[in-house]
Amino acid sequence: MSALEGSLYEIAQIFLIPVLLLILASLAYSFMLLGGFAVEVWQRRSPTFRSSFFAQAIKSGMASDDLELDILKRLEWPRVVSRSAPMLGLVATMIPMGPALLALSENDTANVGRNLVVAFSAVILALISASICFFVMTVRRRWMLQELRLVEKDRGARHAVS
């Protein structure tokens, strides 16, 4: 390898551990998000349930535009994780592929196997994380938009009465 190619290879290898740690963090976050979502699904079965978003919207008197911004803020991290986890999975797949291909050219099947296990495990976990976050984000967005409509209808009814 030329010096440039060798430098690129070494720089790419530096990122493997941080990327794997970010994938593990996104997986942990997605399971925490899923747990909170399961609790909320259970709570929503009660006819008296009011979400924190709904309670804040009623109490604060914020304009609809501000409430929409609040929805975006509340869903920001699930959206970031659902979008970035697959990219991290791709990076974590590609970094070990270089050493795996080198090992393959040297007939070192044990090293090929070790590198491929890391590559495919990382992408699988990243995709699971992204899928969970995307699912939760999609359902919560619908819930919050439905609650926003209720707040707007309530405000419209109040203005019509006065």
How many domains is the chain partitioned into structurally? 1
- What domain range is 97 assigned to? 3-161
The pLDDT score that the predictor gives to residue 154 is 82
Cα separation of 137 and 150, whole Å?
Answer: 20
The pLDDT score that the predictor gives to residue 128 is 98
- The more confident residue out of 24 and 109 is 24
The pLDDT score that the predictor gives to residue 1 is 64
Cα separation of 115 and 59, whole Å?
Answer: 55
